[in-house]
Chains A and B, each alone.
Chain A
Amino acid sequence: NAGVMQNPRHLVRRRGQEARLRCSPMKGHSHVYWYRQLPEEGLKFMVYLQKENIIDESGMPKERFSAEFPKEGPSILRIQQVVRGDSAAYFCASSRDRGGDSPLHFGNGTRLTVT
């Protein structure tokens, strides 16, 4: 049973380009969460999705960032017109059930560097 799979592991983008980060949840998990870890800072919640629905995006910047979790395929975190401040590790997590009913399992993250 494969864990949460994120790709790419490392992504380098120049300022102004788009970054697409992918996350495949664990088998049987329909709840996906994205977190961001800025250098020397803790992990911060960005968005929570269930298949085809955004449940909570309270932690996501209002501009340039979007997330989706389609019926088929991985969840995608998209950052348009990247800036240096977007450089961070982006972690995806999945769970079988909603909220506090089951543990979250994390992927190894995508490390985004904006040059």
Chain B
Amino acid sequence: KQEVTQIPAALSVPEGENLVLNCSFTDSAIYNLQWFRQDPGKGLTSLLLIQSSQREQTSGRLNASLDKSSGRSTLYIAASQPGDSATYLCAVNAGNMLTFGGGTRLMVKP
């Protein structure tokens, strides 16, 4: 059974810092891994999708990496801004479903 863990569970940083969110999964037989952002009371916004054959994806200030053999992914956020404050979710896709981690609650202070 696939299990996804995200560390840390919560993170508070001053504006402008670069930061790394971690995601680990137990079963490396995945199709892809997707990072989402969830704002309080809202739905999920897809940030980046990395196929199992890829090592990383970049979008603006976001960079996600994938090491399938070790079951790890990281989301790097450069020059963080208060608007980045949200919960970040990692999800692995093994076919019919996504298995989500518990999320990292990020607070970026002005």
Residues of A that sit less than 8 Å from B by CB:
4, 6, 33, 35, 42-45, 48, 55-56, 58-59, 91, 93, 99-101, 103-109, 111
Residues of A within 8 A of B88 (CB): none
A48's partner among B91, B96, B99 (CB-CB below 8 A) is B96
Q: Which chain A residues border B43 with CB–CB below 8 Å?
A: 4, 6, 91, 106-109
Residues of chain B within 8 A (CB-CB) of A99 are 31, 93, 95-96
Complex CA–CA separation, A68 to B99 (angstroms): 22
Give CA–CA (A33, B46) in the complex, Å. Answer: 15
Given contacts A45-B97, A48-B96, contact A100 B44 (CB under 8 A): no
Q: How many residues of B contact A (CB 8 A)?
A: 27
Report whether B52 and A100 are in contact in the complex, using a CB–CB cutoff of 8 Å.
Answer: yes
Q: In the complex, which residues 13-68 of chain B have their Cβ closer than 8 Å to any Cβ of chain A?
A: 30-32, 34, 36, 41-46, 49, 51-52
Interface residues, chain B, CB within 8 Å of chain A?
30-32, 34, 36, 41-46, 49, 51-52, 89, 91, 93-103
Residues A100 and B46 in contact, CB atoms below 8 Å apart: no
Task: State the CA gap A104–B100 with chains docked (Å).
Answer: 13
User: Which chain A residue has the least Cβ–Cβ distance from B99?
Assistant: A45
CA distance A100 to B31 in the complex (A): 5
Given A56-B97, A99-B95: A42 and B31 within 8 A (CB)? no
Chain A contacts for B95, CB-based, 8 A? 99-100
In Å, the complex CA distance between A103 and B92 comes to 11
Interfacial chain A residues near B34, Cβ < 8 Å: 103-104
Bound-state CA distance A104–B89 (Å) is: 13
Instruction: Say whether A104 contacts B30, CB under 8 Å.
Output: no
8 residue pairs from A and B, CB less than 8 Å apart: A42-B102, A43-B100, A44-B100, A48-B96, A48-B97, A58-B97, A99-B93, A100-B31
